[in-house]
Structure formats: C-alpha cells, structure tokens
Chains A and B, each alone.
Chain A
C-alpha cells in the first residue's frame, strides 16, 4: 500500500492549492481517504474525508466552504483543494487511507502519504 502526494507548493494569500494523493497496492474504492494537516510546531487537524466509491464527502466545520475533496477512480487518486488561502494555512498536508470503520466512521488508519508542504506567503 502506498500513498504518494504531490510536491511542495508556495502560494500567495487568497490563492487556491490542489494537492494530489496517488494510491496503489489496494482497491482504491474500498477505503475512505482522509486529509489531515499540521501547522509548523502544532498538532494534527482533521480536514475531512472522501468515500472514493461514490464521491461522498464530509468536511470539518473549520474548512466548510473552502475545501473540496475529489477523486479520480480511473487513476486511483484523491485530491484536496483549499481556497482563499491565508498564512494560517501554511502547514504539512497528509492524505491517509481510512482505517477500521465503525458506523460509517472511517478514521485515519495505518497508511499515510509522505505529506505535502503548503506555504502561504506574499
């Protein structure tokens, strides 16, 4: 199982960023893909997930209206786009395969991408 993310990005305030997460080694449609971010020196923050089987998403309230998670099943890749960036969005962004699910809750599991650093600066 591998999740390989796109490279680091530098963006200006107000811009958008789209991070990709190319998966392999398992059935893409069978596991949710979570997105988790970590600002420098800070803790982990869950952003949301996408069900690759049907495209259903749940977003954390902190990101409502700014985040969009999509997927392309033909290439087993998930995407996370964050708009209206501010300096507070400077962070490492991780995609994570969903782990053991209970009652449709499929939290981050054992397989994480390597992370994508997004820096927001003018």
Chain B
C-alpha cells in the first residue's frame, strides 16, 4: 500500500481537460519534489513532469504539473486518444528514506 494516494481512474472526452490528484504527507510531497510518469502497458515508463512542474524536452505543453502543500496534480488539457494510459506520481519520502510511487491512475478517453 503506497503512502501516496491517486484515484484509480479518470476520464474525459477528446479535447477536455482531465486532472489527476496525488495526495501525500509532510514526509514526502510536503518536503520533496514530485515527478509524474506515464506508462503505456507493455512499455517502459516515461518521465512526464519533473520537480513538480517541469516538462522534459519533447513532452507536449498539454501536460502540466502543480503542487500545493502535501498534494500534487497532473493536468492534461486537450485530451487525445493517445493519452489513454496509466499515470503515476512519485516523490522521495524522508521517513522511509525511499522513493515512493503512487498506485497509478488509468485515464480513459471516452
């Protein structure tokens, strides 16, 4: 059971904006940067957002990250069919002395 909480699923229609939440505590998100990863089943994960809101080169600006207190969010605007996959938040946890991943959120494009 992860110390980070994500909704198991999220959905939207093409063109809509979808937001995925990631809730933690003062030992992880409250003190440390959050990364977001995207994984198409059967392939290696891909870094989507680094240090709360930074997009690595090649990541479309449709993806944006934010953090406030002990929670973080990933927003996908202009939802596309190719966005239908799994998304994970992650952060360092000072109490566990480990990097922890959220359980993942499956995004469905209706």
Residues of A within 8 A of B (CB): 34, 36, 43-46, 49, 58, 60-61, 94, 99-100, 102, 105, 107-110, 112-115
Q: Does more than half of chain A's interface fall in helix, strand or loop, or is it mixed?
A: strand
Residues of B within 8 A of A (CB): 2, 32-33, 35, 37, 39, 44-47, 50-51, 54, 56, 88, 90, 92, 96-104
Q: Which 3 A-B pairs have the closest CB atoms?
A: A112-B44, A46-B99, A44-B101
A100 and B100 alpha carbons, distance in the complex (Å): 16
A102 and B54 alpha carbons, distance in the complex (Å): 14
A34 and B3 alpha carbons, distance in the complex (Å): 20
A112 in contact with B88 (CB, 8 Å): no
User: In the assembled complex, how far is the CB of residue B13 from the closest CB belonging to chain A, in whole angstroms?
Assistant: 26
B50 in contact with A109 (CB, 8 Å): yes
A112 in contact with B97 (CB, 8 Å): no
With a CB–CB cut-off of 8 A, which chain B residues contact A45? 101
The total of interchain contacts (Cβ-Cβ below 8 angstroms) comes to: 68
With a CB–CB cut-off of 8 A, which chain B residues contact A100? 50-51, 54
B104 in contact with A105 (CB, 8 Å): no
Given contacts A94-B44, A99-B50, A114-B44, contact A108 B37 (CB under 8 A): yes
B35 in contact with A46 (CB, 8 Å): no
A94 and B39 alpha carbons, distance in the complex (Å): 13
User: In the assembled complex, how far is the CB of residue B105 from the closest CB belonging to chain A, in whole angstroms?
Assistant: 10
A113 and B54 alpha carbons, distance in the complex (Å): 22
Interface pairs (30), CB distance under 8 Å: A36-B45, A43-B101, A44-B37, A44-B88, A44-B104, A46-B90, A46-B98, A49-B99, A58-B97, A60-B98, A60-B99, A94-B45, A99-B35, A99-B47, A99-B50, A100-B50, A100-B54, A102-B32, A105-B99, A107-B92, A108-B35, A108-B47, A108-B90, A108-B99, A109-B47, A109-B56, A110-B46, A112-B44, A112-B45, A115-B44
B44 in contact with A34 (CB, 8 Å): no
Closest B residue to A46 using CB positions = B99
